[in-house]
């Protein structure tokens, strides 16, 4: 099966990195060494240009996302984009808060900031993924973010999971706005889906709420994270290649002149409207897994991850076979 449904990047890792991770397997009975955790924090601080005291670590950014909602949703309405990363809604539904969704409109899926201004007067937890999943759009610009966080009633968490692809970030606003937090991961741009490290960057007011509930990290994950950040240039090259490959795939699909719509994307995946209700099943029958997002957009919509060149070519030929 060709897996183009989970936004994993098609990558091989530097030999030295693999060796270091393999060596860490010998000590599976150990939690991560504090010195390694400190090393990882130092590297992330350098990468984000934020002090290490502003960074919380976890084995997955999903865990930090859920914790953030649990910690800050009480007595606040929760604001999110529609659609957005499934876990934002799924976790918010567990809270006893009013959920306010803001519809993103085709084709650019920009966040309509003017639609929510009046609602920001009430205590609000806003969770916005930028770039947005599953549309791939950069839905926020800096003026939008400032408009939101100028309200002291609001706590804003921006999920920048796909930051390495979009190069857009609001992490530089953290020091000035204590009500802002940024969520990141090494699972996408650094390819560590299998040995995850997620991290949250926030001001003291936010970081303080996480005190006493941090959990032990796994040693192989921390080693993987350290090595990934020590090979930044390598991963930056890989991301650049994926972005170029994405453009190639989009152009080749457009050249087929199929009756489909490809939406602009700043990530490693593409949202496509194929207008064919059973497209997911038809692709699966040809050995390709894509994400069915019909429940969010209507029949025929799929989210497709950029894979290897061979995988992408096979996907393009499958589309041609099904839709022509």
Site residues, another protein (CB under 8 A): 6, 62, 82, 85-87, 90, 93, 96-103, 105-106, 112, 114-116, 119, 275-278, 291-299
Strand duo 180-185 + 154-159: pairing = parallel
CA separation, residue 65 to residues 183, 193, 202, 259 (Å): 8, 16, 13, 38
Residue 51 or residue 298: which is nearer to another protein going by CB? 298
Q: How far apart are CA 28 and CA 84, in angstroms?
A: 36
CB-based contacts of 48, cutoff 8 Å, min separation 6: 55, 171, 184, 201
Residue 189 or residue 203: which is nearer to another protein going by CB? 189
Handedness of CA 202, 207, 210, 212 (dihedral sign): positive
Q: How far apart are CA 67 and CA 58, in angstroms?
A: 11
Residue 67 or residue 129: which is nearer to another protein going by CB? 129
Shortest distance (Å) from residue 83 CB to another protein: 8
Residue 26 or residue 114: which is nearer to another protein going by CB? 114
Long-range contacts for 93-101 (Cβ within 8 Å, ≥24 apart)? Answer: 95/69, 95/70, 97/73, 97/125, 100/124
Shortest distance (Å) from residue 98 CB to another protein: 5
Residue 16 or residue 106: which is nearer to another protein going by CB? 106
Residues in the chain: 324
Shortest distance (Å) from residue 125 CB to another protein: 14
Shortest distance (Å) from residue 66 CB to another protein: 13
Residue 54 or residue 288: which is nearer to another protein going by CB? 288
Shortest distance (Å) from residue 51 CB to another protein: 31
24 token code pair = 């860490």
Shortest distance (Å) from residue 19 CB to another protein: 28
């Amino acid at each position: 099966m060709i897996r183009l449904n989970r936004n994993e990047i098609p990558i091989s890792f530097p030999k030295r990195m693999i060796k270091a991770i393999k060596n860490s397997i010998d000590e599976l009975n150990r939690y991560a060494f504090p010195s390694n955790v400190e090393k990882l924090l130092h590297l992330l601080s350098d990468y984000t240009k934020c002090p290490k005291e502003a960074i919380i670590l976890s084995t997955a950014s999903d865990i930090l996302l859920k914790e953030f909602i649990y910690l800050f949703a009480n007595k606040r309405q929760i604001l999110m984009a529609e659609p957005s990363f499934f876990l934002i809604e799924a976790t918010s539904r567990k809270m006893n808060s009013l959920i306010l969704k803001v519809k993103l409109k085709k084709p650019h899926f920009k966040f309509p900031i003017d639609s929510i201004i009046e609602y920001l007067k009430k205590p609000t937890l806003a969770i916005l993924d930028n770039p947005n999943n599953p549309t791939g759009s950069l839905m926020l610009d800096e003026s939008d973010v400032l408009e939101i966080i100028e309200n002291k009633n609001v706590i804003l968490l921006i999920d920048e999971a796909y930051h390495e692809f979009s190069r857009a970030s609001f992490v530089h606003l953290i020091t000035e706005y204590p009500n802002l937090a940024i969520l990141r991961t090494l699972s996408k741009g650094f390819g560590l889906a299998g040995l995850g490290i997620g991290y949250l960057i926030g001001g003291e007011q936010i970081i303080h709420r996480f005190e006493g509930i941090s959990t032990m990290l796994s040693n192989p994950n921390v080693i993987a994270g350290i090595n990934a950040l020590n090979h930044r240039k390598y991963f930056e090259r890989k991301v650049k290649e994926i972005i170029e490959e994405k453009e190639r795939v989009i152009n080749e699909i457009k050249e087929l002149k199929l009756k489909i719509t490809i939406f602009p994307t700043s990530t490693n995946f593409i949202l496509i409207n194929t207008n064919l209700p059973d497209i997911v099943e038809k692709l699966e029958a040809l050995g390709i897994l894509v994400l069915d997002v019909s429940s969010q957009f209507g029949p025929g919509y799929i989210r497709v991850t950029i894979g290897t060149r061979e995988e992408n070519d096979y996907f393009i030929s499958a589309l041609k076979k099904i839709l022509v």
